[in-house]
Amino acid sequence: MSSPTPTPSPTPGSGSSDTSRSRPASRSARPSSSSAPSSSTDASAPLRPSGSAVPSADANPAPAPGPAPVPYSETPVSQPTPGAPPPDPVTTAAVQTALGTEYAAVWCYSLVEAFLPEILDRRARQDLAAHRARRDLTIRVLTDYGVRPVPAEPAYRLPIPVTDQTSAMRLVVAAESDAAAAWRSVLERCDDPGLRRMSLDGLTEAAVRGARWSEQLGAKPVVPPFPGRD
């Protein structure tokens, strides 16, 4: 990145096929590894369920071996709800991108806590908890529809060194800006009411958090004219 959540879950719906506006995973922090991601976790395209075929009624009754254990770093892929439409590729890619920005925001907030005074550290912990909740919700939405969520990177490369309170706050402002932009992108690329509500919440909450941190910095304007748009 250049600058670094009981009701049925909303589901990735259909969206525009225009992929020319797809945004990078995040700008406030970038993955520290320069190697290209494997095809199994490509955020630019949906990944399909990897379950084995169902045996026919006259198949050999001998019990099949159990599934191989899932590596601890990966999220198991669930099967889509019976009768549910397949996820739209453009919408899926946008949700994967938004998930990437939530991972990055969690990482950034975990980093800046060490540079903030107690009163701001409490706010940072609250915002960190909000990003963790939205990260978990996004993972659940993807897995409910048989899509393998992209994994978090082990670390992220920052645009500027974080050495004091001011640089720490600038980093979280950038993280919130990235999150707002990513959820706005999902909102523009889906028709499903539940997913649109989830995306609007993500955009609004990121814009509000970013405004609070910008106000603390004394930045003008505190809120951009169009939150989530460069």
Q: What is the pLDDT of residue 199?
A: 95
State CA 210 to chain mean position distance.
17
63 found inside a domain: no
DSSP secondary structure letter of residue 6 = -
Looking at residue 149, what DSSP letter applies?
Answer: P
In this predicted structure, the answer to whether residue 215 has a pLDDT above a threshold of 50 is yes
pLDDT for 61-105, tens place per residue?
Answer: 554 554 444 443 344 444 555 555 667 899 999 999 999 999 999
Task: Give the mean pLDDT of 197-221.
Answer: 93
Which amino acid is present at 185?
S
The predicted pLDDT at position 189 comes to 93
205: tokens are: 């909450």
Task: Report the distance separating Cα 183 and Cα 131, nearest Å.
Answer: 13
Quote the pLDDT of residue 160.
81
How many separate domains does the chain show?
A: 1
CATH number of 105's domain: 1.20.1260.10
Burial class from Cβ neighbours inside 10 Å (0-12, 13-18, 19+) for residue 62 reads exposed
* Domain-located, residue 140: yes
pLDDT confidence band for 60 (50 / 70 / 90): very low
In a domain, 40, yes or no: no
CA distance 212 to 75: 33
Query: DSSP state, 33?
Result: -
Q: What integer is the mean pLDDT of 2-10?
A: 46
d(CA 57, CA 145): 27
Q: Where is mean pLDDT largest: 12-26, 37-51, 80-94, 206-220? A: 206-220
The predicted pLDDT at position 52 comes to 37
Q: Is residue 22 scored above 50 in pLDDT? A: no
DSSP state of 207: H
In order, the DSSP letters of 36-73 are PPPGGG-TTS-----PPPPPPTTS--SPPPPPPPPPTT
For 150-176, how does the pLDDT look when each residue is reduced to its tens digit (9 = 90+)?
Answer: 999 998 888 788 999 999 999 999 999
Q: To the nearest 10°, report the CA torsion of 169, 174, 179, 181.
A: 150
Look at residue 181 and tell me if it is in a domain: yes
Contacts 24+ apart (CB under 8 A), 111-118: 111/162, 111/168, 111/171, 112/162, 112/168, 112/169, 112/171, 112/172, 115/162, 115/163, 115/164, 115/165, 115/167, 115/168, 116/165, 116/168, 116/169, 117/165
Domain that holds residue 213: 12-30+76-230
- Between 34 and 185, the more confident residue is 185
Written as six digits, the tokens of 112 are 């800046």
What's the pLDDT at 228?
62
Does a structural domain hold residue 7? no
- Mean residue pLDDT of the chain comes to 75
pLDDT category of residue 13 using cuts at 50, 70 and 90: low
Domain for residue 189, yes or no?
yes
pTM score = 0.67
Percent of the chain with pLDDT strictly greater than 70: 59
Rounded average pLDDT over 185-192 = 93
Q: Is the peptide bond preceding residue 55 cis, with omega within 30 degrees of 0?
A: no
- Whether 121 is in a domain gets the answer yes
**Residue at 62 is within a domain:** no
Higher pLDDT, 200 or 61: 200
